[in-house]
Chain A
Amino acid sequence: MSQVTLRLKQTPDVPLEAENITPDVLSDLPHDEIRALKLQLGKRTFRIDEFFEVEGERSDQVELHGDLKRVKWLGRGMTRGRLVVHGDTGMHLGALMKGGEIDVHGSAGDWVGAEMKGGLIHVRGDAGGQVGAAYRGATVGMKNGTILIDGCAGLETGMRMKKGTIVVGGVVKDFGGLQMKGGNIVMLSGAEIRTGAWMVRGTIISMLPLKLLPTFRYSCDYNPGFLTLFARQLNRLGVSLPVSAAAGVYQLFSGDCSVPGKGEILVWQPH
């Protein structure tokens, strides 16, 4: 199957903004036009081929290689296709994304999947802050879609998210699920502090005990029915969530009472 492959030739001195590197843009262009696409480096604009070796054309299967830590906005607003990155990426990976898939064999910067509306992002390393979050001043973060972070996630993960799922394999830093309005955040290795601060609705599921704010109340122990369904969905993504009542139980905390909100935090307690 055809694909477009981009190899970073040199690491830029300052961040490179590459919102043109999306399956949507590349899938309709012949090789020459891909090479001529613009990149923004600080105040200057460059052609893609000044920074990347370009192979292939007209494909929504895109593969990137290299240390892309300083490359921002990869997969911005993409609606289809697949973007695979071998290396670390910079900020705003898959921000405003609507569909398709991003797979990063490496770590990503801040704002992964910020304000995304659909699609799947898988970061196999760590992610920076504001995963799936709302940009400053906006009232709603991610509206749908799925983000999987195998490693740790930074501050304000899922800030103001409304729908969709974020799964974090490593530890989540402060303010996970800040002002959350809906959707699910799964924390497989727990979190630091202030999880669920000011949450209005939505669900946070943690496999490890959490240090909660005093404005969360313990409600009950239970194994909610929807979790079985949710666990099955996650299973397809390679994430396993315990649901057997024989193995343990979820403690339900509700809050944040300071809002007052109707969010739920479920903490797994194995027997």
Chain B
Amino acid sequence: MSLNIVNNATCTFCGCVCDDIELHADEERIIEAKKACVLGKAWFLNHTAERLYPEALIDGKEATVDEAVEFAAELLDAATTPLVYGMSNITCEAQREAVGLAERLGGVVDSHTSL
């Protein structure tokens, strides 16, 4: 089986964000992360494209993403001061969405920086 090779891949495990990683991957997992450090290798090799978990859980029960999204929106909208927190290990594109959501919710938005 031929491996999919990605050059100049970016590692977001730590704040250094190295962007010269060479990834070798099959359909389900990354087999090799060349030029990555110990932490980076662990990061890349530790994720798979397999469906290991349910797509969503509501109160511990399996649910569809649609149901989970609807319910999440309901809980957040009902709150008086909802908190949107974290954002370290998501993309900038997701962060932009998150700030906009927090604004619409009238809540608080905060990142790891505040720790």
Contacts and interface: CB of A to CB of B under 8 A. Distances in A.
User: CB–CB under 8 A between A and B in the complex?
Assistant: yes
Interface residues of B, number: 6
Of A14, A41, A43, the most chain B CB neighbours within 10 A belong to A43
Contacts of A14: 80-81
A5 to B, nearest CB: 27
Nearest to A12: B80
A13 B80 CA distance: 9
Interface in B80-115: 80-81, 105-107
Contacts of A42: 79-81, 106-107
B69 to A, nearest CB: 21
A44 interface: yes
A88 to B, nearest CB: 20
Nearest to B107: A43
The interface size bin for chain A is under 10
A77 B106 CA distance: 25
A261 B106 CA distance: 43
A251 B77 CA distance: 59
Nearest to B108: A42
Of A15, A41, A42, A44, the most chain B CB neighbours within 10 A belong to A42
A14 B81 CA distance: 7
A42 B79 CA distance: 9
A241 B71 CA distance: 62
Contacts of B80: 13-14, 41-44
B102 to A, nearest CB: 11
A42 B76 CA distance: 13
Interface in A35-74: 41-44
B104 to A, nearest CB: 10
Interface string A170-188: 0000000000000000000
Contacts of B105: 43
B112 to A, nearest CB: 18
Nearest to A41: B80
A81 B70 CA distance: 51
Contacts of B81: 14-15, 42-43
A14 B83 CA distance: 12
16 contacts: A13-B80, A14-B80, A14-B81, A15-B81, A41-B80, A42-B79, A42-B80, A42-B81, A42-B106, A42-B107, A43-B80, A43-B81, A43-B105, A43-B106, A43-B107, A44-B80
Given A13-B80, A42-B106, 7 more contacts: A14-B80, A14-B81, A41-B80, A43-B81, A43-B105, A43-B106, A43-B107
